[in-house]
């Protein structure tokens, strides 16, 4: 994450993680602090609002009924279906982020419609 963030993101980028216990352990927290990573404050146990989760669900629906005996066949099917997801679907999910964040704030970190 760190090399990619430093190479690809704008200066001052802020990392978001979901407060899963493995991401908030003492070891990980120390590493984050030692490496000067700015974390977005995020409520513990809050809903996962990452738009990619909706795309994973859609991809799952698209291949769920197929049976794969080889990993290569599964990977090929995933890649083929991923490429069929319309760009406007992705844009809509990304554009929904302000509403998603507002919903989490309004619900004080509890569940939302997202």
Is residue 17 within 8 A of residue 39, CB to CB? The reply is: yes
Q: Domain total for the chain?
A: 2
- What pLDDT does 63 receive? 94
Confidence of residue 113 (pLDDT cuts 50, 70, 90): confident
Mean pLDDT across 10-16: 90
Is residue 70 within 8 A of residue 64, CB to CB? The reply is: no
Q: Answer yes or no: do 31 and 80 share one domain.
A: no
Q: Answer yes or no: do 20 and 71 share one domain.
A: no
- What pLDDT does 45 receive? 62
Confidence of residue 111 (pLDDT cuts 50, 70, 90): confident
Q: Answer yes or no: do 81 and 25 share one domain.
A: no
Q: How many CA atoms lie within 13 A of 27 on its CB side?
A: 2
Q: Answer yes or no: do 38 and 50 share one domain.
A: no
What is the distance in angstroms between the CA of the first residue and the CA of the last residue of the chain? Answer: 26
State pLDDT tens for residues 18-69. Answer: 777 888 899 999 999 999 999 988 766 666 677 888 899 999 999 999 999 9
Range of the domain at 62: 45-114
Q: Answer yes or no: do 18 and 4 share one domain.
A: yes
Q: Answer yes or no: do 2 and 55 share one domain.
A: no
Please state, rounded to an integer, the average pLDDT across all residues of the chain: 87
């Amino acid at each position: 994450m760190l090399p990619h963030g430093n190479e690809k993101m704008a200066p001052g980028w802020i990392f978001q993680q979901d407060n899963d216990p493995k991401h908030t352990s003492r070891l990980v927290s120390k590493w984050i602090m030692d490496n000067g990573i700015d974390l977005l404050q995020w409520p513990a146990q809050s809903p996962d609002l990452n738009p990619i989760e909706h795309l994973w669900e859609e991809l799952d629906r698209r291949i769920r009924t197929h049976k794969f005996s080889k990993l290569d066949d599964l990977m090929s099917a995933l890649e083929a279906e991923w490429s069929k997801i319309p760009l406007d679907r992705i844009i809509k999910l990304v554009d929904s982020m302000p509403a998603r964040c507002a919903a989490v704030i309004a619900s004080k970190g509890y569940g939302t419609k997202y």
